[in-house]
């Protein structure tokens, strides 16, 4: 059954970087980066608010030179929707179905690449140089969590192999190496 919806690709608040077979999209509102593979990128580019899903199917078939199930296009639309890359929410065709069962169904029938959108949250400047996802550069540089601040606000947490050592009245945060008694204070990262 054809679905009458005609989704619209969101363009505002995005930085779009076109590549030969992919599109990279950076969402300025959420600081998330998304990499759309060729199939997902094709669907996104054709979401103009006028073209229905069944028409996108036809365009896709023309471009790829092969017959595809409408579900393949819907799989792309679902992912675009989830990542807030469409102007308005569309009603999923797969409501109630698990992603696994949908993928299984489409995957077997499809000879073209399934739509895939890889996403990540862009790091802050500090996290881009950190030892792990929870440490700051300072904590890398010194192995500690905001050393010098009162124990009530020891954050972010120390990285693997370190624990925030805080005890006694008026103590301040310090990361202590858990393997052995070596403190990591004054060690540089």
Partner 1 sequence: MENEVKKELKEKQKKISFESYGVKISIEADCDIDFNLIKNCLADSLSREFNLVENQTSDHIFYINGDNFTYSLEKNKEKIVSDVSFEFLLDTLESKVRITVAEFAVGRVFLHAGVVAIDGKAIVIPARSYHGKTSLVAALIRQGAVYYSDEYAVLDENGYVHPFPKMLSVRGIIDQYAQKDLPVEEFGAVAGTDAVPVAMVLITEYVEGAEWKPEQLSAGQGIMEILPHTIPIRNKPEFTLNVLNKVAERAIITKTMRAEAVDTALLIKSFFAKLAFKI
Contacting positions for partner 1 (CB under 8 A): 15, 17, 19-24, 26, 28, 31, 33, 35-37, 118, 120, 122-132, 137-138, 140-143, 146-149, 159, 172, 177, 182, 184-189
Q: Which is nearer to partner 1, 29 or 67 (CB)?
A: 29
- Residues 34 and 11: their CA atoms lie apart, in Å, by 14
Q: What is the smallest separation between the CB atom of 45 and partner 1, expressed in angstroms?
A: 15
Q: What is the smallest separation between the CB atom of 42 and partner 1, expressed in angstroms?
A: 14
Q: Which is nearer to partner 1, 15 or 109 (CB)?
A: 15
Q: What is the smallest separation between the CB atom of 70 and partner 1, expressed in angstroms?
A: 26
Q: What is the smallest separation between the CB atom of 132 and partner 1, expressed in angstroms?
A: 7
């Amino acid at each position: 059954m054809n679905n009458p919806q005609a989704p619209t690709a969101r363009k505002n608040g995005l930085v779009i970087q076109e590549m030969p077979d992919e599109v990279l999209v950076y969402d300025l509102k959420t600081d998330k980066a998304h990499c759309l593979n060729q199939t997902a990128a094709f669907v996104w580019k054709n979401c103009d608010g006028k073209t229905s899903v069944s028409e996108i199917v036809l365009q896709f078939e023309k471009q790829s030179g092969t017959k595809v199930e409408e579900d393949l296009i819907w799989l792309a639309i679902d992912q675009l929707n989830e990542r807030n890359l469409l102007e308005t929410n569309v009603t999923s065709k797969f409501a109630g179905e698990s992603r696994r069962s949908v993928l299984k169904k489409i995957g077997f029938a499809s000879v073209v690449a399934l739509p895939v959108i890889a996403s990540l949250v862009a790091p802050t400047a500090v996290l881009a140089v950190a030892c792990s996802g929870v440490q700051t550069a300072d904590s890398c540089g010194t192995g500690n969590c905001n050393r010098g601040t009162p124990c009530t606000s020891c954050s972010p947490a120390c990285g693997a192999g370190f624990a925030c050592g805080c005890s006694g009245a008026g103590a301040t945060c310090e990361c202590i190496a858990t393997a052995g008694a070596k403190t990591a204070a004054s060690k540089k990262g």
